[in-house]
Structures are given as structure tokens and as C-alpha cells.
Amino acid sequence: MQIVNAGINDLDTLMNFYDNAIAHQKAVSNLVWKGFDKPVVVKEIEEGRQWKIMIDGQVACVFMTAFNDPDIWDEKDKDAAIYIHRICTSPDFRGKGFVKIITDWAIKTAKNKNLGFVRLDTWQDNARLHQLYLHAGFHYAGMKLIEASGNLPKHYWGVTLGLFEISIKEL
């Protein structure tokens, strides 16, 4: 297993992962992403913020990272942190513990870059993901209502998020 940056040649794969995740969300919940624009994903690839987990030559999981997230974390965004977004797993690889694997990778990255936190968010109403994140070592850090904003993807608009973080100094 390897965690490597996605390249521009992975764009269709990333978009397929997002489309498949949306279809899965629709099948199991009323909490559904509203889709992603290719130019935004291309920019994330170019900035080295799109990642893929490879297993035996196959893309098993994808995710995106950022080093600031002011529209979600407000004043806490002043802390040096790595933010994890959009974890999507191939149906063939579900149940393999990728959240914990990504969390461990992010902790190592945070330590290497002298960052103080690993953070992520999900819908406040998604109790299953809350438990998954708590089990991976995150602590609940509160909630945030997101207003419509040109800075965030549409799936954030008008939702209340649960915020989760790991303090590196407390490890």
C-alpha cells in the first residue's frame, strides 16, 4: 500500500470516485455532496493536494488535503494544521480502515512539517462518521453552520458541520 499524490492523468479517476461516493451517499442517507467542478480538482492536483491510496496497482481510496481552511475553522485556522477532506473509497476496498490509515499519515505529515493539528469535518448529523473519526483518534471540536460562500464547494452551503481535530502536542 502506498499513499501518493494524484496527477493530472488521475483526474477522471478522481471524478469517478466523487461520483461513486455521491451515489453511495444517496443510497444510504439524505446527506449528499452536490458534486465537484473539474477545474477545482485540477487546481488541487496542481497544488499537490489530491492524494490516492494504491493497493496492488489499483486506486483504493482518494482524499484531499489543505493547510488552511478559514471558511470552516474561523479563528482556529490561524493554528498550523493539515486539513483532510473528501475521503472516498472504492467499493472494492471498503472496510479496510482507510480513515485510520489517512489519519496516521496526516499525523506523520503534521509532525514532519511542525504543524499543531490534524483536522477534518463532516455533517453534524452523520453519527456514523462521527464515531469513525473518534475511533481514529480525533476529538470533537464543535459545530459550525456554513453560509453560502463562493469559497467553499456547494455541498457545504447551508449545512451544519461537526468539527474534529487531533492535537499533535497531545500525542
Give the other-Cβ count within 10 Å of 7's Cβ. Answer: 13
State the pLDDT at residue 157. Answer: 82
Predicted local confidence at residue 31, as pLDDT? 81
- Please, are residues 151 and 77 in contact by the beta-carbon 8 Å criterion? no
| pLDDT for res 151 | 78
91-132 pLDDT tens trace: 999 999 999 999 999 999 999 999 999 999 999 999 999 999
pLDDT score for 150: 66
Three cell numbers written together for 10: 488521475
Give 10-residue mean pLDDT values along the chain (171 residues): 98 96 89 87 97 97 97 96 97 95 98 98 93 97 87 80 97 90
Within a 10 A sphere around the Cβ of 45, how many other Cβ atoms?
Answer: 20
> Domain spanning 2-170: which CATH class is it, in words?
alpha beta
What are the boundaries of each domain within the chain?
2-170
pTM: 0.94
Burial of 119 per CB tally in 10 Å (0-12, 13-18, 19+): buried
pLDDT at residue 131 in the model: 97
pLDDT of residue 147: 85
Do residues 83 and 69 lie in contact, with contact meaning Cβ atoms separated by under 8 Å?
yes
